[in-house]
Amino acid sequence: MNGQTTELLDRLVRQARAQTQRRRASVPEAELVRRAADGPPPRDFVAALRAPGLSVIAEVKRRSPVKGSLTADFRPVDRALAYQRGGAAALSVLTHEEGFGGAPEHLARIREHCALPLLRKDFVVDDYQVHEARAIGADAVLLVVSALSRARLGELIGLVGSLGMTALVEVHDAEEAEAAVAAGATAIGVNHRDLRTFTIDMDLTARLAPLITPERVLVAESGVRTAGEASALRAAGADAVLIGEALMRADDPAALVAALGGVDR
């Protein structure tokens, strides 16, 4: 572990705050609230993941803050439509600019063309980001426990729910899993990747699954590349897998989604 990796999470959160301040200066929060109210109702993210077998949340992202560019030809809408053709249950769209090359506009453009539930994936710490998510067409919002105080986690889960969206609450250890359950999360994601070091622990879902009660949707995140790995996660109790890098690097992303989603159907 070095200084660069131990500070990575803090840096990503600072960048998200700065991005939010820039966007707030351009579009007031009251305008986002109006846009959200005028839009169609959110799609049911949880119901999409409760379909029989293992559901795939396929991710659209340009790059990784550690591994760099994931594709030489980044076309968010085309990639989203390929995932939809492959049978993805939902999509995750990175909107973090500096770390992942994302933008809220990517999600808005995908919403115009794609029928699947959409997750806004970012480091959400501000009410503005939640209202913006609904205004651009998101149906769910990622909340990372390690980036939030316990009080703030509860507040944001409440705000997300009040707008009809789902909070996918991301955890990386037993303490965070217990905090997510206590805060009332209906969907909990176990991130195999440590956001402070970017190392992967593929056994983490199996270890934390007993802490996540059956009425909650359990999503295994990061590091999944093969149908065999997906099958092991299903056996460990996962209802869904969230996959980004492997799909972004795939020559035929629709085929890979189909292979991963074919587990236990």
What angle separates helix 127-135 from helix 8-26, to the nearest 10 degrees?
Answer: 60
CB hemisphere CA count around 104 (13 angstroms)? 22
Annotated catalytic residue within 97, 132, 221, 245: 221
Looking at the DSSP assignment, which residues form a beta bridge with residue 140?
119, 166
CA distance 149 to 156: 11
Is 2 a known active-site residue? no
Annotated catalytic residue within 121, 132, 176, 245: 121
Is 67 a known active-site residue? no
Residue 26's alpha-carbon distances to 6, 32, 111, 133, in angstroms, are 33, 11, 22, 16
Annotated catalytic residue within 55, 61, 92, 245: 61
Annotated catalytic residue within 64, 97, 132, 170: 170
CA angle, residues 106, 108, 110, in degrees to nearest 5: 70
Other residues' Cβ atoms within 10 Å of the Cβ of residue 9 = 18
Annotated catalytic residue within 59, 97, 132, 176: 59
Is 98 a known active-site residue? no
Is 146 a known active-site residue? no
Cβ-count burial 162-199 (b if 16+ within 10 Å, e if not): ebebbbbbbbbbeebbebbbebebbbbbbbbbbbeebe
Are 94 and 248 contacting, i.e. CB atoms less than 8 angstroms apart? no
Other residues' Cβ atoms within 10 Å of the Cβ of residue 263 = 21
Are 245 and 64 contacting, i.e. CB atoms less than 8 angstroms apart? yes
Annotated catalytic residue within 55, 64, 92, 222: 222
Annotated catalytic residue within 132, 191, 229, 245: 191
Looking at the DSSP assignment, which residues form a beta bridge with residue 27?
none
Is 61 a known active-site residue? yes
Are 83 and 247 contacting, i.e. CB atoms less than 8 angstroms apart? yes
Enzyme catalytic residues: 59, 61, 121, 170, 191, 221-222
